[in-house]
Structure 1
Amino acid sequence: MAGITGIGSGIDIDSIVSSMVAAERAPKETQLNNLQKKTTTQITAIGALKSAISDFQTALGGLNKPDVFQARSATSSKSDLVSVSANTTAGAGRYQVEVKELATSSKIALGAVPNSADEPARFGNGALEIKLGEESFSVTVDASNNTLAGLRDAINQAGAETGVSATIVTDDKGARLVLSSNQTGADKDITVEATPAGTAGSGQQSLDAMAFNGVENSDDPAGARILAHAQSAVITVDGLTVTSETNKVEGAIEGVTLDLKDKTAENEPLTINVAEDKAGVKKKIQSFVDAYNKLIGVINTQTKVTSVGDDKTPVTGALVGDASARTLLSTTRNELVSGQGDGALRTLTDIGITTQKDGTLKIDDAKLEKAMANNFVELPGLFAGEKGIASRLDEQLKPYTQTGGILEQRNKAMTETISGIDKQKEDLTRRITSLQERLYKQFNAMDLLVGQLSNTSNSLLASLENLPWAASNSKK
C-alpha cells in the first residue's frame, strides 16, 4: 500500500502510519530487548560461575586423596643412565646403584644360501621349530612358502605372539634369514631345529640349511652366526647384586622402578634419592588456592556495582543481589575458617594460607614450607577425608553443579525466559502488522472519501458559476 496513498487528500499517509506503528512498537520492543539482554548476560554469568565452581571442585578432588600425601618423589643423579619412579610403598632413602650389564635380546643370522630374483633359493618340504628359551613355535614348509621370502613371512606370522621376527640380509657369502627376538633375559637365545620331510627335490636345498643349534662353526664363513646374545641386566644396589630379565627393574628397592638405559662406569655408581613428594603436594595446594581465587574473582565481578560518574548510571554485574551467589560465597568462607581436629594443623592459617581484603587467598611460602617440614603427616587430616576441608567444601558446592542442581535450574528458567521473549516478539510482529494494515485501510478510506468530497465540491462550484445570475454578476 505504501507509495500509492494520499492521492485524494494529499496527506503523507506513509509517514503518518509509519510514525503511529513505530510509536506502538517501540515501548514493548525496548522492554523485550532489555529483558533479553539482561537474561542473556545472566546466562553467561551463571555459566562462568558454574565453570569456576567445577574448576575449584577439580582442585579439591586433587587434595581429597590420602595417597596424594603418601606419594614419593624419586630422582636419579644420572637420569641418562637410569631413570627412576616410585609409588606410595617406597621408603624414603638414598641408594647407590651401579649398572653392570644391560638386558639384551637374541639375534641370529642363519646359514647363507645363493639367492637372486631370477633364481631364488628353494628348500625341501618339512618343518622348522624356532625356540626362544622355553617357548617355541613351528613353521610348516611346503611348495607355498619354500623360498627365503616365504619362510620370512611364515616366521613373522607364526612368531608374532612369541616376539620373534625375520628379515632377509644379503652379505658377501649369500642371502640369510636374520631372526630377532624382543624378549630380553638370559637363556632366551634363538635356536632353529629343522625336520626335513624326505629328500629335497631337484633344484632344492635341504631344510637342514636353515638349522642352528646356537653354536657357531668358525670354520664355515657361510654358516649361521650369533649377532647378539640374550642376557639379563645386572646391577648392584648399595653393593648387593640384582639380576633382572628386563631393563625395567622392579622390586630391587621396594616401591621403586629403575629404568636402565646404559651401563655406568666401573666403580662409579649413581645415586637414587627417594623422598616424600612435598613439591607435588605444594603444587596441589597452590592449585587449590588458584581455583578458589578464580571463583571469588568471578563472584566479585558478577556481583559488583561500579560507579562511573555522578551523573551516570553505575555499571552493575549480572548477578547483583543474586541470592545464590551470596549464599555460595558465605558457605565457602565459613568452611575455610572452620577448624578441624586438635592437632598442630587445624585451619588453613596454620599452613600459611590467609584471606585478603578482596576475599581471595594468599600463601605465605615460608610458613607453608615450615608446616610441611615439621607436620607433613598431619596435612592429610587437614585436607582429605570426610572431615577435611576439601571434602566439606565439595559438599557445599555439589548442590550448585550437580545434575538438576541450583545453577542448572537457574539456567533452565532463563532459557525458558529467552524462549518466551522470542514468542512475544513474534506476537508483537503479528500485532504490529495487523495494526499497520488496519491503519492503511482507514487512511485510504478517508483519502477516498476526501477525494470524493473534493470532486463533489468542485462540481457544485462549477454548476453555481454557470447560473445566469452568477454569470451576469461575474461580468460586472
Structure 2
Amino acid sequence: MTGLGSGIDYESMIAAIVGAERAPKENQLARQEGMNHAEKNALQEIQFTLNSFRDKVEDLNSSRELQKLKAELSNDDVLSASVDSNAVPGEYSFEVTQLAQTQRDQLFKTSEGSTFSKGTISFGAVSIDIATVKGDLISAEGGKKTAHHDQVYQDIADKHGLDVVADAAAIKDILETSTNPDFDQARLDSYTSQQQGYQNTIDRLTSDGVTVEELQSAINSDPANDGVKATLVRSGDGISMVLNGKDTGVTNAIGAITVAIAPADIKGNTLDLALPVNGQKSLQTAEDATVQFGSMTLTSATNKMENVIDGITLNIKEKGTVNVKVERDEASVNSTIKSFVADYNKIIETVNTYTKSSEDKAAALSGDSATRSMVSRLRGVIGAEYGSSTYNTLSQLGITTTRQGTLEIDQKKLDKALEDDFDAVSKLFIGDGVQTGMMDKMMVVLDDYHKNGGTYDRRIDQLEYNNKQIAEDREKLDSRMEAKTLSLRAYYARMDSQIARMNQTQSMLVSMLM
C-alpha cells in the first residue's frame, strides 16, 4: 500500500526486494525438483520394463515353456488329452471300455403329495427313522410357533413400555381387542396367519406324516451322511426318491441300502410299491473308468486319469478307441522365443528414450553410469556362448543384435533350428542339468535391478527423499521471505512516519513565514 506520509508505494518496493532475493533459490529448488522427478520417472519406467522382462525370463527358465508338447487326437469325442514336458513323443492307442460313474438307486416311487408316518431308510452309517423325523419336525414347528408368539408380545411390550411377563394380559388386549386404542388390525392379521401356519404344519405332521421333501432333507442333513445326496425325480405318474453316491468309482459306492416302509404307512399314495418300477431298485452301479492300453488295463475312480503315462493326462468322455499323437509344439515355443525378444527390445528402447539427449533438451538419464552398466550386462548375457547345447549362441538360432542394441529374428533360421534339434534350442535357454543356460545368467543380472531392494529401487527411494528435502527447503525459504517482508514493512513504516513529521514541520514553518 502507498505510504500515508510520503505517498510512496512501499508494498511494491518490498515485493520487488523480496522477489529478487527469493528468485535464485526458488529457481534452484524448482530446477533440482524437476530433474529429480524426471530421473525418478525414467528409473520407474525402466524398472517396470525390467520387471516385466524378469517375469518372462523366470517363466522361460523352466521346461514347461521351452519343451512344450502337444497332443493330437484321432477322435476327441472319446477323450481329451493334456501333456507336459515329462511326456515322451510318440503315438499311443487307447480304448475306453468303461466310464467312471456313481452309484444311483431308487428308494421308492409314490404319488405326488404322499406323506409318510412310519418306516426306516438305512445306508452306510445313516439310519433314518421316519417316526423320529416326524416327532422332531413337530417339536421344531412348535418351537417356531412359541418363538413367534413371544417375539410379537415382546415387540408390543417394548413399544408401550410394558413388562412381557407381568403385563401379559395388557399385551394380549392390545394385540387382540379392537376397542383398545393401541390395537393394530394388520399386526393381528399377521400374527394370526403365522400362528395358524405353524399349527397347520403341526396338524398335518400329526395326522398324516412327513412329506417326501421333508424326508429328503432329513437324509441329506443327517450328521452321519458323508456326502450321499437324495434327489427327487418327478415323472408323469409320481415322484421318485433317488439316492446318489458322493463320487464316482467303486471305492465311493454307497453300499447296501435298506428301505422298510409299509404301504399302509404312506398316505395319499396310489402307486403299487410291490411293482418293480415303483419299489427299491438299482439305477446305476458304481464303476471305475477302465481304459485298455495295449494289453494293459488302466483304471481310475474318476474320468480323469492324471499322469496315467508319464506326462499324459486323459479326460474320458465316452466309450471308444482313440489314437493320441504326442509331438513337439514348435509353434508355441516359437511364440515364446518371440515374446522373449520383444520384451528384451522393450528394455533397450526404453533405455534409449531416457539416455539419448536431443537438440531441445537433455535426457533424464543422459550419461547415467548405472543404466549403461545394466545394458552392458544384459548384452553380455545375450552375446555369450553356452556349452549346455549344440547351439552355443543366439545367433545360431537366427537371433542377432541390431545397431540400436535391439534383437531381430531370422524366422527361417529359427524355424529350421526348432525342426532340426528341438531339445537343443531349449537347452540353450534353460541348460542341460549340468551346465547353466542363458536364463540362469539373465536372472542373476535382473535380480540386481529387481524392484524389491534392487539398484533402481534404492535410487528411486533416494530421489523421493531428496524431493522431501526440497519441499522442506521451500518451506524454510517461505518462512525467511515472510520474515523479510515483515521486517521491511516495519522499516518503511518508520521511515514513512518520519517523513510525515518532516512534512508537518515544513508546513508549519511555511505558514509562519507567510
TM bracket (short chain) = 0.7 to 0.9
Equivalent in the alignment of 2:184: none
Counterparts of 1:314-353 in structure 2, within 5 Å, are: 314-341=360-387, 344-353=390-399
Amino acid at match of 1:34: R
Q: Does 1:437 align with 2:486?
A: yes
Equivalent in the alignment of 1:468: none
CA contact (8 A) 2:107 2:281 kept: yes
Equivalent in the alignment of 2:463: 414
Amino acid at match of 1:74: A
Q: Does 1:123 align with 2:118?
A: yes
Q: Bigger shift: 361-370 or 158-167?
A: 158-167
Q: Deviations over 1:101-122 (max 9, x none)?
A: 5333333322234563xx7322
CA contact (8 A) 2:51 2:451 kept: no
Distance 1:159-1:97 versus aligned 2 partners, 3 A rule:
farther
**Secondary structure of 1:357's match?**
coil
Counterparts of 1:74-473 in structure 2, within 5 Å, are: 74-113=71-110, 116=113, 120-124=115-119, 128-130=121-123, 136-141=124-129, 142=132, 143-144=135-136, 147=210, 148-158=212-222, 162-171=226-235, 173-185=237-249, 188=253, 191-194=256-259, 204=265, 219-237=275-293, 244-250=300-306, 253-264=309-320, 269-307=321-359, 314-341=360-387, 344-385=390-431, 387-401=436-450, 403-465=452-514
CA contact (8 A) 2:18 2:484 kept: yes
Distance 1:106-1:273 versus aligned 2 partners, 3 A rule:
same
How much has 1:226 moved relative to structure 2? 4.0
CA distance in 1: counterparts of 2:289 and 2:473, whole angstroms: 79
Distance 1:34-1:230 versus aligned 2 partners, 3 A rule:
same
CA contact (8 A) 1:62 1:284 kept: no
Amino acid at match of 2:121: L
Distance 1:368-1:105 versus aligned 2 partners, 3 A rule:
same
How much has 1:91 moved relative to structure 2? 1.6
**Secondary structure of 2:421's match?**
helix
Q: Does 1:30 align with 2:27?
A: yes
Equivalent in the alignment of 1:470: none
CA distance in 2: counterparts of 1:52 and 1:412, whole angstroms: 18
How much has 1:281 moved relative to structure 2? 2.7
Distance 1:253-1:394 versus aligned 2 partners, 3 A rule:
closer
Which structure shows the bigger proportion of residues in helix conformation? 2
CA contact (8 A) 1:181 1:190 kept: no
Distance 1:359-1:424 versus aligned 2 partners, 3 A rule:
same
CA distance in 1: counterparts of 2:319 and 2:370, whole angstroms: 63
**Secondary structure of 2:440's match?**
helix
**Secondary structure of 1:435's match?**
helix
Q: Does 1:59 align with 2:111?
A: no
Distance 1:160-1:464 versus aligned 2 partners, 3 A rule:
farther
**Secondary structure of 1:315's match?**
coil
How much has 1:246 moved relative to structure 2? 2.8
Q: Bigger shift: 394-403 or 157-166?
A: 157-166
CA distance in 2: counterparts of 1:463 and 1:316, whole angstroms: 73
TM-score (norm 2): 0.75
CA contact (8 A) 2:101 2:285 kept: yes
Identity among equivalent positions (%) equals 30
Q: Deviations over 1:405-424 (max 9, x none)?
A: 32122112211210110010
CA contact (8 A) 1:97 1:235 kept: yes
How much has 1:394 moved relative to structure 2? 1.7
CA distance in 2: counterparts of 1:174 and 1:56, whole angstroms: 65
Amino acid at match of 1:28: K
Give aligned pairs, total: 431
Higher relative contact order (CA 8 A, sep 6+): 2
Q: Bigger shift: 320-329 or 58-67?
A: 58-67
Equivalent in the alignment of 1:473: none
CA contact (8 A) 2:126 2:224 kept: no
**Secondary structure of 1:387's match?**
coil
Amino acid at match of 2:393: T
CA distance in 2: counterparts of 1:138 and 1:343, whole angstroms: 63
Q: Deviations over 1:228-286 (max 9, x none)?
A: 4444445555697655543223465443112122445xxxx444221123333323322
How much has 1:159 moved relative to structure 2? 8.3
CA distance in 2: counterparts of 1:370 and 1:190, whole angstroms: 60
How much has 1:68 moved relative to structure 2? 4.2
Q: Bigger shift: 337-346 or 244-253?
A: 244-253
Equivalent in the alignment of 2:145: none
How much has 1:224 moved relative to structure 2? 3.0
CA distance in 2: counterparts of 1:222 and 1:232, whole angstroms: 28
CA distance in 1: counterparts of 2:116 and 2:248, whole angstroms: 32
Distance 1:221-1:62 versus aligned 2 partners, 3 A rule:
closer
* Structure 2: runs of 5+ lacking an equivalent: 138-208
CA contact (8 A) 1:112 1:173 kept: no
Q: Bigger shift: 270-279 or 217-226?
A: 217-226
Q: Deviations over 1:302-358 (max 9, x none)?
A: 101112xxxxxx222211111100111111112211112285311110111100111
CA contact (8 A) 1:83 1:258 kept: yes
Q: Deviations over 1:421-456 (max 9, x none)?
A: 001000010011011111111111111111111111
Q: Does 1:43 align with 2:30?
A: no
Distance 1:397-1:160 versus aligned 2 partners, 3 A rule:
farther
CA distance in 2: counterparts of 1:218 and 1:364, whole angstroms: 80
Distance 1:230-1:9 versus aligned 2 partners, 3 A rule:
same
CA distance in 2: counterparts of 1:15 and 1:382, whole angstroms: 75
Distance 1:78-1:16 versus aligned 2 partners, 3 A rule:
farther
Equivalent in the alignment of 1:13: 10
